[in-house]
């Protein structure tokens, strides 16, 4: 009997380990973000971090709301997620047939995405971390200056049907991360930090007063439309918003060994 319990526990542990999301280490470094680090268009410094190789799925999010029922769509405080939160699911605790367990979860708010990551001992990536990882193609850490790469990504953004109704499993990039482009939009932790000047001619803009310090920063690399569209989309969101094509993945700090 005791042996059976021990075996059961070992099996459960094994299965939990098999289920656990995969994270890969990303080295970080100096990076020419589309959002400069200051008004002098400086590069940003990105510390090494770990990133989930795949977006969070419906099945994983269902496990999360089952374990943490305050995030169920019928129990969540409205301040944390608007009406459409997980609307495509059949019920608060069942996916139904309009979406698959293996599809990326969408219709989640920033608060809910954040809470999920905490439950996985992780956090949402920052914009710069996401952008850094997403600059890679299959063989290069930074493929952004390659017109063919830009073209391929833009092809997806031009498709009108991006809806989160697709299987995860795009090809792995340089770091082993999948589906940063081509599947869904993704929350970042500092989505409300992406404030930028609408255009560079606004030195005497009456809205100047809305911004403290250096004023709104100007975007760099304006030809990188795919990334700029992400910035525009994320900066238009409120934290309780959800959309049918907006999901997320999580990140972790790398412990520095002394």
Partner 1 sequence: MKTLRRALLFALPLLFTGGIPPRAADLPGESIYHLPISMVDQDGYASALADRRGTPQLVSMFYTSCPYVCPLIIETMKRTQQALTPAQRQRVGVLLVSFDPERDTPQRLHEVYQQRKLDKASWTLARIEADDVRQLAAVLDIQYRLLANREINHSSALVLLDSEGRIVARTDKIGEVDPDFVASVQAALRSAR
Beta-bridged to residue 155, according to DSSP, are none
Between 15 and 44, how does the x/- string for binding to partner 1 read (CB under 8 A)? --------------------x-xxx--x-x
Taking CB under 8 A as the rule, does residue 98 contact partner 1? no
Taking CB under 8 A as the rule, does residue 210 contact partner 1? yes
Full strand arrangement of the beta sheet holding 23-26: 23-26, 49-52, 251-253
N-terminal to C-terminal alpha carbon distance within the chain:
45
Q: In terms of CB distance, is 7 or 195 closer to partner 1? A: 195
Q: For partner 1, which stretch binds (CB under 8 A), given 134-142, 171-179, 213-221, 242-250?
A: 213-221
Between 110 and 129, how does the x/- string for binding to partner 1 read (CB under 8 A)? xx------------------
Residues 6 or more apart in contact with residue 48 via CB below 8 angstroms: 25, 26, 27, 28, 254
Tell me which residue has tokens 């969540």.
76
Taking CB under 8 A as the rule, does residue 74 contact partner 1? no
Q: In terms of CB distance, is 20 or 212 closer to partner 1? A: 212
Hey, which bits of 17-63 come out as E strands? 23-26, 29-31, 44-46, 49-52
Q: In angstroms, what is the minimal distance from the CB of 109 to partner 1?
A: 10
How many residues would you count in the chain?
258
Q: In terms of CB distance, is 130 or 149 closer to partner 1? A: 130
């Amino acid at each position: 009997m005791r042996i059976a319990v021990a075996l059961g526990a070992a099996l459960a542990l094994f299965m939990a380990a098999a289920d656990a999301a995969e994270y890969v280490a990303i080295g970080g470094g100096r990076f020419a973000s589309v959002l400069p680090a200051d008004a002098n268009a400086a590069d940003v410094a990105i510390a090494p971090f770990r990133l989930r190789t795949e977006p969070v799925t419906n099945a994983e999010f269902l496990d999360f709301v089952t374990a943490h029922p305050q995030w169920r769509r019928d129990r969540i405080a409205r301040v944390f997620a608007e009406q459409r939160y997980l609307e495509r699911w059949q019920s608060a605790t069942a996916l139904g047939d309009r979406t698959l367990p293996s599809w990326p979860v969408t219709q989640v708010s920033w608060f809910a995405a954040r809470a999920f990551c905490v439950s996985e001992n992780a956090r949402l990536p920052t914009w710069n971390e996401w952008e850094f990882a997403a600059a890679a193609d299959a063989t290069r850490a930074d493929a952004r200056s390659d017109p063919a790469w830009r073209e391929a990504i833009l092809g997806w953004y031009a498709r009108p049907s991006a809806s989160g109704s697709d299987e995860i499993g795009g090809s792995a990039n340089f770091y082993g991360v999948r589906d940063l482009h081509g599947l869904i939009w993704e929350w970042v932790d500092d989505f409300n930090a992406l404030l930028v000047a609408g255009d560079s001619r606004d030195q005497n803009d009456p809205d100047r007063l809305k911004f403290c310090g250096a004023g709104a920063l100007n975007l760099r690399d304006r030809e990188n439309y795919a990334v700029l569209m992400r910035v525009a989309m994320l900066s238009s969101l409120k934290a309780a918003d959800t959309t049918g094509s907006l999901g997320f993945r999580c990140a972790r700090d790398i412990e520095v060994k002394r």
